[in-house]
Structure 1
Amino acid sequence: MAAHHSALIHTMVLISAADREMTDLELKTIGDTVRGLPVFRDFDPATLPDIASECVGMLQGEDGLDAVLDHVAADLPTKLHETAYALACEVAASNGSVSQEVLRLLEILRHHLNVDRLLAAAIERGVRARYAHL
């Protein structure tokens, strides 16, 4: 497993766990992402549960949020920072509504990954358009 795979998965799990409830829709979004995106082409999906559990364990530790964010920043190449932010937004939007905790964590993640505010707004708008319904 490549470090960038772990960092991307940890980013998605982090957002899913932000409101203390990882829903089936969020978990399905993470699974679909891992099985469908080119960045995960050489990833073994069978390792997904272990990587997700590792992230949850890190979050439960002392300074858990900082530990996960530091891991993501250390193991994610700069050119995948926008991808990580986009994946986080996808997971956040998968439930149909986004809590204040998730919005705050997205802001923290954006700052931690140095994703430009205007670029982040464009990513967020694109995700909103993808999840829009009547």
Structure 2
Amino acid sequence: MHAAQDALIHLMILAASSDSAMTEKELARITALIDRLPVFDGFDPERLEEVANACADKLNGPNGLDRVIEDAIAALPEKLQDTAYAVAVEVTAVDLHLEQEELRFLEMLRDSLTLDRLTTAAIEVAARARHRRLPD
């Protein structure tokens, strides 16, 4: 199960850093998702730094972004592809404003997964709804 959990974390890290800066909010969301989602049951939080460093090493290598995405998807059972997209969207939606780079990353991820457009749209709408705040 480590490989699938690591893959999901790699995709969340890519989502958070796709606009070249991972914010405290994004890091907090990643940690909260790891703590809360059943797919991460049994994940040792002490491994998070190791998993993040492995992602960074791959990302800094040849064809880094494509390689991390390809390796992550290859490590996931097909039934977790919607989960992969959902956690990536969840991290990018935390501030309710997506930068162009974040949108491009989500597009790349969508294109790499075998999810239909209706499923990905539903995931995106649900994430925006969960992060909305009352107007001031």
TM over 0.5: yes
TM-score (norm 1): 0.96
Structure 1 residue 17: Cα displacement: 1.1
Structure 1 residue 26: Cα displacement: 0.5
Q: Name the CA distance, whole Å, in 1 between partners of 2:120 and 2:32.
A: 22
Partner of 1:36: 36
TM-score (norm 2): 0.95
Code of the aligned partner of 2:57: G
Partner of 1:13: 13
Displaced runs of 4+ in structure 1, greater than 2 A?
none
> What is the aligned-residue identity percentage?
46
- Pairwise CA RMSD: 1.0
Gaps of 5+ in 1: none
Give the count of matched residue pairs: 134
Gaps of 5+ in 2: none
Partner of 2:65: 65
Structure 1 residue 110: Cα displacement: 0.9
Does the 8 Å contact 2:15/2:91 carry over to 1? yes
Structure 1 residue 59: Cα displacement: 1.0
Structure 1 residue 62: Cα displacement: 1.5
Secondary structure of residue in 1 paired with 2:106: helix
Partner of 2:102: 102
Query: Which stretch of the first structure deviates more once superposed, 119-128 or 58-67?
Result: 58-67
Q: Name the CA distance, whole Å, in 1 between partners of 2:16 and 2:57.
A: 14
